[in-house]
């Protein structure tokens, strides 16, 4: 088979073509070497060539608007790739809700309003209702080993920490005097969606570069479902 391919390439006189597999490999080698972060999520972003950070004075809403059109808003169904391991369909749905800053009904995380990309923190203090005053916004990378969440350890699991944001969002909408920021009030997630966002956060763990390369190579292709009420 290898020989046959070589003969065909020779027949079309295309030394260039013959050189292509090697070039493609060194290009993906560079992607692996140059990667600042090596989690399944980062492999997912790179394989789809999705923009990994905010630019200029872009905010959470601008980024979602940009990504929503990339994900095929009106154009019908588009296909995305995801790593076969480490980035489940739940994590993929969780990612979309994490960056979704507005829309109808549920499926809105608005998380990047404070956990901005690519570090998952804006480096600022925010009042999200876990204390009487604003608290430093932590990065959401490398949370797997943590045994408790928030500054006072008052959430035992990722699901609980996310659910607290959802519940405090209700406070932000109903009682401005409570001081909880309105960005928290934009969050609207069902219990199932909270679990999917948690699955996404679990895809933010760094891995060895050799495994990162495997994530980039072994991919699943699937359509995008942008109807979050389903």
- Would you tell me which residues interact with ligand HEC (CB under 6 A)? 98, 109-111, 113-115, 126, 128, 130-131, 135, 137-138, 140, 143, 146, 149-151, 158, 161-162, 165, 181, 183-184, 187, 197
Q: Which is nearer to ligand HEC, 184 or 216 (CB)?
A: 184
CB of 33 to ligand HEC, least distance (A): 29
Q: How far is CA 174 from CA 101, 125, 189, 213, in A?
A: 19, 22, 17, 47
Residue 80: what are its φ and ψ, rounded to 5°? -120, 160
Calpha distance 195→223 (Å, rounded): 21
Nearer to ligand HEC, 165 or 213 (CB): 165
Beta carbon nearer to ligand HEC, 22 or 229? 229
Minimum distance, C-beta of residue 126 to ligand HEC, in the bound complex (Å): 4
The two structure tokens encoding residue 179: 């001081």
Q: Minimum distance between the CB of residue 69 and ligand HEC, rounded to whole angstroms?
A: 21
Contact 222, 91 (CB under 8 A): no
Report the residue number, 116 or 213, with the smaller CB distance to ligand HEC: 116
Nearer to ligand HEC, 86 or 109 (CB): 109
Rounded-to-integer distance, Cα 101 and Cα 2, Å: 50
Q: Examine residue 118 and say whether the peptide bond preceding it is cis (omega within 30 degrees of 0).
A: yes
Least Å from the CB of residue 131 to ligand HEC: 6
- The answer to whether residues 70 and 63 touch, using CB atoms and an 8 Å cutoff, is no
Smallest distance, ligand HEC to C-beta of residue 73, A: 21
């Amino acid at each position: 088979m290898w020989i046959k391919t070589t003969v065909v390439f020779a027949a079309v006189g295309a030394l260039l073509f013959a050189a292509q597999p090697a070039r493609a490999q060194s290009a993906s080698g560079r992607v692996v070497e140059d990667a600042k972060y090596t989690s399944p999520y980062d492999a997912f972003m790179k394989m789809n060539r999705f923009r990994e950070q905010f630019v200029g004075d872009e905010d959470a809403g601008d980024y979602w608007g940009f990504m929503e059109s990339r994900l095929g808003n009106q154009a019908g169904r588009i296909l995305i790739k995801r790593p076969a391991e480490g980035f489940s369909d739940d994590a993929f749905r969780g990612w979309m809700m994490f960056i979704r800053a507005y829309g109808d009904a549920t499926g809105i995380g608005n998380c990047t309003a404070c956990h901005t990309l690519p570090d998952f923190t804006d480096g600022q203090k925010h009042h999200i209702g876990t204390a009487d005053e604003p608290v430093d916004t932590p990065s959401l990378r490398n949370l797997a080993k943590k045994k408790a969440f928030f500054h006072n350890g008052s959430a035992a699991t990722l699901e609980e920490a996310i659910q607290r944001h959802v519940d405090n969002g209700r406070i932000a909408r109903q009682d401005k005097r409570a001081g909880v920021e309105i960005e928290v009030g934009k969050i609207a997630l069902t219990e199932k969606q909270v679990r999917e966002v948690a699955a996404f956060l679990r895809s933010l763990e760094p891995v060895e570069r050799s495994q990162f390369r495997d994530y980039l190579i072994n991919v699943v292709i699937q359509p995008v479902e942008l109807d979050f009420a389903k």
